[in-house]
């Protein structure tokens, strides 16, 4: 089975028009996350829903730019579809049938960039020489794509170093203690789990590309439930 870098889904407008949704490119995710900070300060479910709808409106810049206002969005999508949209777009999960409040669900599933040095990650990737500037990079890549590309780049570089070290009689895996994990793995775990995973061995890290590599994951045969 071919692996996937990220989840995607075909959603439908109220008139039946199909719309293919993938994770937001970093350019739009930045704007989304700024708006999402207002969700954290929402007062009550109605206020939270209104702020989540604004987040969805921002996401439409990528998916359907002709939808420019909240009114346009509400004319074209019902609320369950909006919830599904922000889930795929940014990992914000809200279940209308949950006993938890909308705010609790959104905030607990929403990620934060507070502990992620995005500028450093982008700078490393920019050295590939593919993009003319950082704006083009952010227009081209979503966070799952950025992480997957960086991982491939680092693994390729490590394999090259490992080969050169072996020529000198050095076991680089053993010397670097690679098998025990590192800061890179911990960072990926936080990204894939929306900031929830404590470390790379946490079950919450087994989502998206991580789940595919492991052969299972949340949404792929393994589930979990919150116990208060």
Residue 4, domain member (yes or no)? no
123 shares a domain with 81: no
Which of 138, 9, 182, 214 has its CA nearest to residue 204?
214
For residues 161-165, average pLDDT: 69
123 shares a domain with 105: no
What percent of the chain lies above the pLDDT cut of 90?
38
What distance in Å separates the CA atoms of residue 89 and residue 211, rounded to the nearest whole number?
Answer: 18
Of the three residues 109, 129, 152, the one that is the final residue of a domain is 109
Mean pLDDT score of the chain, rounded to an integer? 78
Kindly tell me if the per-residue pLDDT of 217 is higher than 60.
no
Number of H helices, E strands in the chain: 11, 2
What distance in Å separates the CA atoms of residue 171 and residue 162, rounded to the nearest whole number?
Answer: 7
Comparing 193 with 223, which gets the higher pLDDT?
193
Residue 42, domain member (yes or no)? yes
What distance in Å separates the CA atoms of residue 90 and residue 104, rounded to the nearest whole number?
Answer: 16
17 lies in which domain range?
A: 9-109
* pLDDT band per the 50, 70, 90 thresholds, residue 180: very low
The C-alpha R_g of the chain, in whole angstroms, comes to 20
For residues 99-128, average pLDDT: 81
88 shares a domain with 57: yes
207 shares a domain with 125: yes
Of the three residues 66, 83, 109, the one that is the final residue of a domain is 109
What distance in Å separates the CA atoms of residue 163 and residue 19, rounded to the nearest whole number?
Answer: 46
101 shares a domain with 34: yes
Residue 156, domain member (yes or no)? yes
Kindly tell me if the per-residue pLDDT of 190 is higher than 70.
no
| Residue 87 CB-density burial (10 A; 0-12 exposed, 13-18 middle, 19+ buried) | middle
Q: Tell me, what's the pLDDT at 66?
A: 95
130 shares a domain with 96: no
Kindly tell me if the per-residue pLDDT of 213 is higher than 60.
no
16 shares a domain with 80: yes
101: left (phi over 0), alpha (psi -120 to 50) or beta: beta
Kindly tell me if the per-residue pLDDT of 108 is higher than 50.
yes
For residues 107-118, average pLDDT: 70
Kindly tell me if the per-residue pLDDT of 50 is higher than 80.
yes
Comparing 39 with 1, which gets the higher pLDDT?
39
Kindly tell me if the per-residue pLDDT of 22 is higher than 60.
yes
Kindly tell me if the per-residue pLDDT of 126 is higher than 80.
yes
Residue 169, domain member (yes or no)? yes
Residue-wise pLDDT for 60-90, tens only, equals: 999 999 999 999 999 999 999 999 999 999 9
């Amino acid at each position: 089975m071919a692996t996937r870098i990220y989840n995607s889904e075909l959603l439908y407008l109220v008139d039946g028009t199909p719309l293919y949704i993938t994770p937001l490119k970093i350019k739009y995710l930045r704007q989304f996350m700024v708006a999402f900070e207002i969700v954290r300060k929402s007062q009550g479910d109605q206020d939270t829903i209104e702020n989540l709808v604004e987040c969805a409106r921002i996401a439409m810049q990528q998916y359907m730019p002709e939808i420019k206002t909240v009114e346009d969005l509400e004319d074209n999508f019902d609320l369950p579809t909006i919830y599904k949209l922000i889930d795929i777009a940014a990992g914000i999960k809200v279940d209308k049938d949950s006993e938890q409040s909308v705010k609790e669900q959104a905030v607990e599933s929403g990620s934060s960039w507070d502990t992620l040095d995005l500028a450093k990650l982008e700078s490393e990737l920019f050295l590939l020489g593919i993009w003319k500037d950082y704006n083009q990079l952010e227009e081209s890549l979503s966070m799952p794509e950025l992480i997957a590309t960086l991982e491939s780049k680092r693994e390729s570089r490590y394999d090259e170093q490992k080969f050169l070290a072996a020529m000198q009689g050095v076991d680089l895996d053993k010397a670097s203690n690679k098998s025990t994990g590192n800061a890179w793995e911990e960072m990926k775990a936080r990204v894939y789990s929306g900031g929830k995973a404590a470390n790379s061995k946490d079950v919450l890290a087994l989502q998206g590309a991580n789940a595919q590599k492991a052969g299972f994951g949340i949404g792929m045969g393994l589930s979990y439930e919150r116990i208060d």
